[in-house]
Amino acid sequence: MYRQCIAVVDGESALVSVATGEDAHERAVPCSATIDETRDRRLTMLRRIAVAVWLLVVVYRTVTAGLAFNRELLLLYIATGLMAASIGRRQKVFAVVRDWLPFAVVLLVYDLSRGAATLLGAPCLWQLQPQADRWMFFGTVPTVWLQEHLKMADPPWWEVIISAVYMSFFLLPYVVAGFLWLRDRADWAAFVRRFVALSFTALIVYIVMPSAPPWAAARCTAHDVTGGPSNPPCMYRSPAGVPDGGLLGAMHVHQAGAHSFVERISTRGWGTLHLQSAGALVNSGQASVNLVAAIPSLHAGLSALVVMFLWRRVRATWRPLLVVYALTMAFALVYSAEHYVIDILLGWALAAIMMWVIGYLEARWTRRRSSGSDVVEPAGDLAGGLAVESPVDQVGDVADMRGGHHGVQRAQWVFGGQRLDVEDIEAGSREPVGAQCLDQSHLVDDRPARGVD
């Protein structure tokens, strides 16, 4: 049987039918519930329409203006998409602005760090990293060796992977954050803490200790960088014709038709896909940010951070892919002359340190909150078998046990360090142990104030 009622939703009335009697499992459904269901359905439809419109706008702009390699634009895409998916949920709309603000701050500070480094006047490191790489690889700079043996006149197919992995730095951390924000805000908050800590620590290093990347070292000689300038004119010239390959050293061999000098080739792969506009957009963006931010490699650091954070949150079958991603990023950075090997190792180390430090601080904060609380968590038999509505307080009394209709039939006493056992539960109950309850008035615990063992 059904009854009808008038539901008013968003200022409009609608005649709805509500199941009653047997059709409703002997439970009458009030009109207010029907109104809520109708409103939820409309909001769901509105959210889907908004997300579809958002997707069309993103696709249209991508087709007309290129991929969103600009991080600020990507952040805008993610924030507006999350807002579209949160229509009708006022708190979530405000949460988008509040929660994603740290990312905007990091990006702003990162873009301003170049000016801060120049203002501070700290000398830039030019020769330390190539010397370190030569020491680790027996007199060879890996970037020089890789471009000698692998760089072709025209980018091969695998350079598409190199360019894509390199550019994933500008996309993946924010995509992961967006996924976590929708799935589990606790995981999202944990990721943000590590992301912000790693980024700001790296930014501080960039400001107080600027360091030049390999592509810049290939354009400058020791005379050009006397005194450690952070923005010498030699950085903006072509590496062709620089004596002895600049600070990196000359290439002794090269593939047929390939340039005989080390060059920045992190975006060459886009030409294979006829996406030269994407490469040009990336190059223009690279020219507007801090160019002497090699130590530590934030590309390598954030990639390692994503891998370490997701390691226990994904299935085991996905973990090899995470490792391959981090190693491919490292290869791409060295081969394309974006970073030295020492930069990558320091980036990985910094990511591991930040994971440990933030994890330690989170655990310490949790312990402090627990120790400052008026209650302690139940343990022993109570934790394993009975449903506890309230925890055990510090004076040793047992909290209310609810959820069933049966109780302990006789009093139990605990002497000294003996264990509090639960016995003589009334037989015949169909409820599981966790649904039975204890009569607190019959339980006595004379141990010191430390909760139930």
Residue 324 belongs to a domain:
yes
DSSP for residue 118: H
Domain boundary at 117, 133, 150, which? Answer: 117
Residue 244 exposure: Cα atoms within 13 Å on the Cβ side: 7
Taking the alpha carbons at both ends of the chain, their separation in whole angstroms is: 55
- 314 and 272 assigned to the same domain: yes
Q: Which two tokens stand for residue 151?
A: 């760089």
Q: Which of 367, 395, 412 is the last residue of a domain?
A: 367
Q: Note whether 235 and 293 are same-domain residues.
A: yes
Is 322 found in the same domain as 183? yes
Are 111 and 185 members of one domain? no
235 & 327 share domain: yes
Residue 41 lies in a domain: yes
**Domain annotation covers residue 240:** yes
- Domain extent, residue 176, equals 120-367
Give backbone dihedrals phi and psi of 87, rounded to 5 degrees, phi first.
-60, 135
Same domain membership, residue 199 and residue 143? yes
452 inside domain: no
Domain match, 208 and 258 both: yes
Residue 127: name the closest of 340, 349, 347, 350 by CA: 340
Residue 248 forms part of a structural domain:
yes
Statement to judge: residues 202 and 67 lie in one domain: no
pLDDT in tens, the chain (453 residues): 555 554 544 444 454 454 554 444 444 445 555 667 777 788 888 888 988 998 898 888 777 766 665 667 777 787 788 778 777 776 666 777 777 777 677 767 766 665 666 677 789 999 999 999 999 999 999 999 999 999 999 889 999 999 989 988 888 888 898 889 888 888 998 998 999 899 889 989 988 999 999 999 999 999 999 999 988 999 999 999 899 999 999 999 999 999 999 999 988 887 666 555 555 555 555 555 678 989 999 999 999 999 999 999 999 999 999 999 999 999 999 999 999 999 999 999 999 999 999 999 999 998 888 886 554 444 444 333 333 444 444 444 444 444 444 444 334 433 333 434 444 444 444 444 444 444 555 555 555 554 444
The verdict on 57 and 174 lying in the same domain is no
- Is residue 328 in some structural domain? yes
Residue 6 lies inside a defined structural domain of this protein: no
Where is the domain boundary, 117, 143, 165? 117
Longest dimension (CA), the chain: 96
Whether residue 152 is found in the same domain as residue 181: yes
Number of domains in the chain: 2
| Residues 65 and 129 placed together within one structural domain of the fold | no
Same domain, 239 and 146: yes
Distance CA 268, CA 163 (A): 7
- The angle subtended at Cα 136 by Cα 300 and Cα 231, nearest 5°, is 55
Asked if the structure places residue 81 within a domain, the reply is yes
**Helices and strands in the chain: count of H runs, count of E runs:** 15, 6
